Homo-oligomer: A and B are copies of this chain.
Amino acid sequence: MNYINPDKTNAWVKLASLVPPGKKFDFAGRLTAERVGRSGIPMAGGLLYNWAAKAADEGTIRALQALADEQELISKYRALLDGEIMNTGEKRRVLHHLLRGQLGKPVVEGTRDLGEFYKAELERFSAFAGRVRSGAVKGASGKPFKNAVQIGIGGSDLGPRAMYLALDNWGQRNGKKKISAFFISNVDPDDASGALSPLDLAETLFVLVSKSGTTQETLANELFVKDKLVRAGLLPARHIVAVTSETSPLAHNPSYLDSFYIDDFIGGRYSSTSAVGGVILSLAFGPDVFKEFLSGAHEADALALAGDIRENASLLDALLGVWERNFLGYPVTAVLPYSQALSRFPAHLQQLDMESNGKGTNRYGEEVSYATGPVVFGESGTNGQHSFYQFLHQGTDIVPLQFVGFAESQRQDDVEVDGSLSQIKLNANLAAQIVAFAKGKDDPDRNKFFPGHRPSSLIRGGRLSPAALGSLLAHFENKVMFQGFVWNLNSFDQEGVQLGKILTKKVLSGNSGAGTGDEVLDAYSSLLGVIP
């Protein structure tokens, strides 16, 4: 395989020649119903990716296809599926796709088929979740479990939390929800203390998630929880299950009711479809729902193998993002789901994208001379409309937009006002915004002038089901992966978080009052009350 920086490709030069004047794509006359009609790519889970309002014409699409081909994006994806060491810095395979099903060769580590291992763990925690939900597994005082609290941070928190919120209303409507989930992540003690205060610990099961078993925040919160359980007269070993790797101190440990395993080939931000997301989602909604979610993701992974960018939503989305970032010069992307269920999905994508591709060196550790991953932020529509859309419409910078919407609500509990249901109003707003951003509006009063030129894409579906959610999640995982391949990055490590950890340890070593010997660290520690 040919791992080169993208600015060494012929397509890169070609793309540079296609940049429109002022880096602004003029949608007038170009964004037509015909274009909307032919710009849809079917996705898994009944979704559709429509790129009609993206700032690209036929010539750009051809050049992006050439870039995909020159950078061998599909071959690199196949290599990843086959278990090659794609996390080069940490010398690890990258196997989150295998959690959902097998698309490449069998991946064997020693004598273990890893696909079989993941499947076996899935079945183990499915069975466990079934026993908890049926009341066969009870708390220390004999009460059945009504709550599950995930203790984890980063990938052990953002993805699972976003997925839980995404399915909560669906689960209630479809009679699947049996256990309410809560999340403790921050080392701020107010997080754990506040989250636990309304819960009856006797009916609460904790899911302790740390791959390494050494995450500072998570271990502090584990001891916080254990202390509370003991004070409530409840044996912690009856109230905590662990999700970890087999080599961690949490593994095979009688302090826990049970332990479910992942391994080093499942990155934190890619772990929602492993036991990291699976245990809590299976407890809340049942193992069958979690498996539907996996099957949506698996179907999306399969569709991402198509070499033609006009048939591969993740691939095209990735390449259009490169076009916007490197050629149109837009440093930020907004994710705007018109679905309250996806209120924390942007926060998950923020980690997924910015931790994967927010990097200044390529996979060989050489400094790059082009922009890599953008800033990602977002809130649900219509809420964002009443917040930062002013900036998006009339600010001095252009921010490309990723809209998501569904024809039907999850709860099917609606009211008609002024001749339309709220769900219809929601989607009317979405349709209107796409056109407003692209085309703008002229006005002699320049305060009321809308420049337009704001590109967006739309992912639409019928209803946000578990399979649709799995498809949506995998779409973005694969988009980020393809972009990492284009930029010649290792998207699967996160060396950028290490320095903070090292300096934190240093600060804590000096908190007795002696200081660290670094006068600046000590000055800030003193300001913040770390040094007494």
Q: Are B224 and A496 in contact (CB under 8 A)?
A: no
Q: Are B415 and A385 in contact (CB under 8 A)?
A: no
Q: Which of A37-66 contact B (CB under 8 A)?
A: 37, 40, 48, 50, 52
Report how far A376 CA is from B397 CA in the complex, Å.
13
Q: Looking across the interface, which residue of chain B has its beta carbon closest to that of A152?
A: B386
Q: Does A528 belong to the interface (CB within 8 Å)?
A: yes
Q: Does A73 belong to the interface (CB within 8 Å)?
A: no
Contact among B223, B447, B520 with A361 in the assembled complex (CB-CB below 8 Å)? B447
Q: Are A426 and B188 in contact (CB under 8 A)?
A: yes
19 pairs, A vs B, C-beta closer than 8 Å: A52-B523, A157-B383, A169-B190, A187-B382, A189-B411, A189-B421, A189-B423, A190-B340, A220-B415, A220-B422, A223-B417, A366-B446, A391-B496, A393-B497, A420-B508, A424-B529, A431-B521, A450-B499, A460-B527
Q: In the complex, what residues of B have CB within 8 A of residue A105's CB?
A: none
Contact among B389, B408, B439 with A497 in the assembled complex (CB-CB below 8 Å)? B389
Contact among B221, B380, B520, B527 with A188 in the assembled complex (CB-CB below 8 Å)? B380
Q: Are B33 and A522 in contact (CB under 8 A)?
A: yes
In whole Å, how far is A150's beta carbon from the nearest beta carbon of chain B? 13
Report how far A338 CA is from B504 CA in the complex, Å.
14
A75-83, A191-199, A304-312: which lies at the interface: A191-199
Q: Are B36 and A338 in contact (CB under 8 A)?
A: no
Q: Does A302 belong to the interface (CB within 8 Å)?
A: no
Known: A48-B527, A360-B451, A407-B528. 5 other contacts (CB 8 A): A157-B383, A224-B415, A373-B391, A389-B500, A458-B527
Q: Does A227 belong to the interface (CB within 8 Å)?
A: yes
Q: Does A351 belong to the interface (CB within 8 Å)?
A: yes
Report how far A224 CA is from B426 CA in the complex, Å.
14
Report how far A414 CA is from B216 CA in the complex, Å.
15
Q: In the complex, what residues of B have CB within 8 A of residue A187's CB?
A: 382, 422, 425-426, 429
Q: In the complex, what residues of B have CB within 8 A of residue A446's CB?
A: 361, 365-367
Q: Contact mask A490-532 → B, CB, 8 Å, 1/0?
A: 1001111111101110111001100000111111110111100
Q: Does A32 belong to the interface (CB within 8 Å)?
A: yes
Instruction: Knowing A393-B497, A396-B372, A500-B389, say if A189 contacts B409 (CB, 8 Å).
Output: yes
Q: Does A154 belong to the interface (CB within 8 Å)?
A: yes
In whole Å, how far is A89's beta carbon from the nearest beta carbon of chain B? 5
Q: Are B387 and A529 in contact (CB under 8 A)?
A: no
Q: Does A144 belong to the interface (CB within 8 Å)?
A: no
Contact among B190, B371, B388, B450 with A351 in the assembled complex (CB-CB below 8 Å)? B388
Q: Does A234 belong to the interface (CB within 8 Å)?
A: no
Q: Are A507 and B372 in contact (CB under 8 A)?
A: no
Q: Does A163 belong to the interface (CB within 8 Å)?
A: no
Q: Are A394 and B427 in contact (CB under 8 A)?
A: no
Q: Does A74 belong to the interface (CB within 8 Å)?
A: no
Q: Are A393 and B496 in contact (CB under 8 A)?
A: yes
Q: Does A466 belong to the interface (CB within 8 Å)?
A: no
Q: Does A109 belong to the interface (CB within 8 Å)?
A: no
Instruction: Knowing A390-B355, A445-B365, A508-B425, say if A339 contacts B432 (CB, 8 Å).
Output: no
In whole Å, how far is A498's beta carbon from the nearest beta carbon of chain B? 7
Q: Contact mask A10-37 → B, CB, 8 Å, 1/0?
A: 0000000000000000000001110011
Q: Does A347 belong to the interface (CB within 8 Å)?
A: yes
Q: Are A358 and B390 in contact (CB under 8 A)?
A: yes
Instruction: Knowing A32-B519, A524-B434, say if A154 contacts B415 (CB, 8 Å).
Output: no
Q: In the complex, what residues of B have CB within 8 A of residue A158's CB?
A: 383, 387
Q: Are B431 and A524 in contact (CB under 8 A)?
A: yes
Q: Does A316 belong to the interface (CB within 8 Å)?
A: no
Instruction: Knowing A411-B189, A503-B436, say if A420 contacts B511 (CB, 8 Å).
Output: yes
Q: Does A172 belong to the interface (CB within 8 Å)?
A: yes
In whole Å, how far is A222's beta carbon from the nearest beta carbon of chain B? 9
Q: Are A447 and B331 in contact (CB under 8 A)?
A: no
In whole Å, how far is A116's beta carbon from the nearest beta carbon of chain B? 30
Q: Are A193 and B411 in contact (CB under 8 A)?
A: yes
Q: Are A521 and B332 in contact (CB under 8 A)?
A: no
Q: Are B169 and A193 in contact (CB under 8 A)?
A: yes
Contact among B383, B511, B518 with A185 in the assembled complex (CB-CB below 8 Å)? B383
Q: Are A528 and B188 in contact (CB under 8 A)?
A: no
Q: Does A136 belong to the interface (CB within 8 Å)?
A: no
Contact among B31, B392, B529 with A408 in the assembled complex (CB-CB below 8 Å)? B529
Q: In the complex, what residues of B have CB within 8 A of residue A511's CB?
A: 419-420, 424, 428
Q: In the complex, what residues of B have CB within 8 A of residue A191's CB?
A: 340
Q: Does A96 belong to the interface (CB within 8 Å)?
A: no
Report how far A285 CA is from B217 CA in the complex, Å.
30
Report how far A395 CA is from B497 CA in the complex, Å.
12
Q: Are A347 and B387 in contact (CB under 8 A)?
A: yes
